[in-house]
Amino acid sequence: MPINLIRRTNLPARRGLLLLAMAALLPLAGPASAAEREIKFAFGAPILTLDPGISAGSQAQTVRFHIMEPLVQMNAETGAIEPLLAESWSVADDKVTWTFRLRPNVTFHDGNTLTSADVAASLKRLIDPQSGLPRGNDLRIVKEIREVDPLTIQLVTATPFGPFLPTLAQDSASIISKACIPPTGTKIDWKVIGTGPYRYGSHIPEQSVTLVRNDTYWGRKAAAPSLTFLNVPEGSTRLAMLETGEADVVVDVPGFEVPRLKTSKDVALIQRPNTRLMHIGINVTKPPFTDIRVRHALNFAVDREAIVEGVLGGLGVPAKSVLSPSVFGYAPQAIYAYDPAKAKALLAEAGFPNGFKTTLQTPAGRYYMDREVTVAVQAQLRAVGIDVDVQVVDWSTYLSLLRKPRAENGSTLYTLGWETGTGDIQYLLDTVFNSKRVPPAGWNTMFYDSPEADALAAKVSAEVDPEKRKALASDVQARIMQDAPWVPLYGSVQVAAYRKDLAGIEYLPTDNYRLNKVTFR
């Protein structure tokens, strides 16, 4: 069947054609190096909001990290948690009372000085159920926030929480000026005021966001006077922009281009695994996917190794769990090998000896080779009798479709990639697989409801001993894999490229970038 396009804006496509035409007329040498200049960063999807309480993908998180700062941050090389707005912290013997000492003399973009009142206001806004913020669940383990003095804040969790510090390093826990916090339930969108090395400058909806350097930043002053983040869905267009100097950094470089780029005198590569797990999500409330045998059949029908090698050019790790191998708690589950005969038998047993028809939705350009991977899955499912209609949806519409409540949600199968924002299994357990996190309140877009998985996840959360947590994490992965609300595909390997006159780009395993330490050669 043909691939359908659903409400897809033609603006990025037209822009891509124009850029390709321009690329043919521009010299390969690119711009001359300078002491300081704007940095242009090309993503494959738009930045939809700066509100830290709203999920909008890792591209939005990257932009937010330049404007707002959490109490702590993840080290890009080691993954360790290090000070940021908090210069030190401690946890009491009760394992639930955390005390953070704030860095003095930090000012927001509006000139106000950072105090514990701003921290309290930011985190209370996030976790207040009345705010209706989707990311609120990230920190609802916090039951009490105490302003000890202007530079000391205490956070008290309901129970011991193993990954508390990595959770506080997420963009959702960013601290914003209490002066910009609106009434309960009101979104911030673009009017956010942080303490970061850059401040919001302007944006063109669905196309670009420009940040301007914060010259009163408390830390090291950034070299680039501005950052512009562009939405360029087509990978070939992004690469053409990089090689002609129209972009300085691009993501999701086509795998077949990697050997050539390794010999380039102008371009360098970042090639690293991250915490993202690409998968086919299954709405388990939609027949025939209410039948676990059908969901198992989907898993046996997909040849993960062939997708990684044949479509991705080896840039991925075939999935053996619902977690990427780089996430704390990962435990491979040897449950689904590629077995189309077994898939057919399970379909027959479920009452579908001749298969059935269904739809599979996908974005295009949001993830590396996402549309091509989806088409490969379509072919593999067709081989066992499942006639799949692939529907390509623009990213902003995609998020809206997946987040509709159950009664209005028309999704059946969909392609998505979840990064584990903390590098810890608890992030996905709480954000995606928790039965209380169904849309529109959360991201359990499978409408998966397992009391057993919820109970195991609660045990993982409350355990602080790393080795005991690993054992519990293995148990919950086994439960979820057996229930099969996903068809896990592969752990992602990010291939980004940048111009060699830049140095100091930081890439985090959570699929975020930091550019504030970039220097020009």
* Amino acid making up residue 282: I
Taking every pair of Cα atoms in the chain, the longest distance, rounded to a whole number of angstroms, is 70
Can you tell me the distance from the alpha carbon of 317 to that of 319, in angstroms, rounded to the nearest whole number? Answer: 6
Q: Do the beta carbons of residue 246 and residue 23 sit within 8 Å? A: yes
Q: What is the DSSP letter of 515?
A: -
Q: Where are the domains of the chain?
A: 6-65+195-272+494-520, 69-180, 274-493
Q: How many residues does the chain have?
A: 521
- What does pTM read for this prediction? 0.82
CATH homologous superfamily for the domain 6-65+195-272+494-520: Periplasmic binding protein-like II (3.40.190.10)
Burial of 315 (0-12, 13-18, 19+ CB in 10 A): buried
State how far the Cα of 274 lies from the Cα of 491, in Å rounded to an integer: 7
Count the Cβ atoms, other than its own, within 10 Å of residue 165.
Answer: 20
Whole-number pLDDT of residue 137: 83
DSSP for residue 169 = T
pLDDT at 10: 36
Structure tokens at 319: 């999935």
Rounded to 10 degrees, what is the CA torsion of 130, 135, 137, 143?
-60
Distance CA 412, CA 358 (A): 7
Distances (CA, A) of 495 to 43, 252, 272, 313, 511: 12, 5, 7, 12, 11
Residues of the chain with pLDDT under 50: 1-33
Helix residue ranges, H only, 287-407: 292-301, 304-306, 340-349, 370-382, 395-402
Q: For Cα atoms 438, 363, 62, give the angle at the middle one, nearest 5 degrees.
A: 80
pLDDT score of 184: 67
Per-residue confidence (pLDDT) for residue 186, from 0 to 100: 67
Outline where DSSP puts E strands in 215-296. Answer: 226-231, 249-250, 267-282
Q: Count CB neighbours of 130 within 10 A.
A: 10
Query: Domain 69-180 has what CATH class?
Result: alpha beta
Q: Is the peptide bond before 440 cis (omega within 30 degrees of 0)?
A: yes
Q: How many CA atoms lie within 13 A of 395 on its CB side?
A: 27
Q: If one looks up domain 274-493 in CATH, what number appears?
A: 3.10.105.10
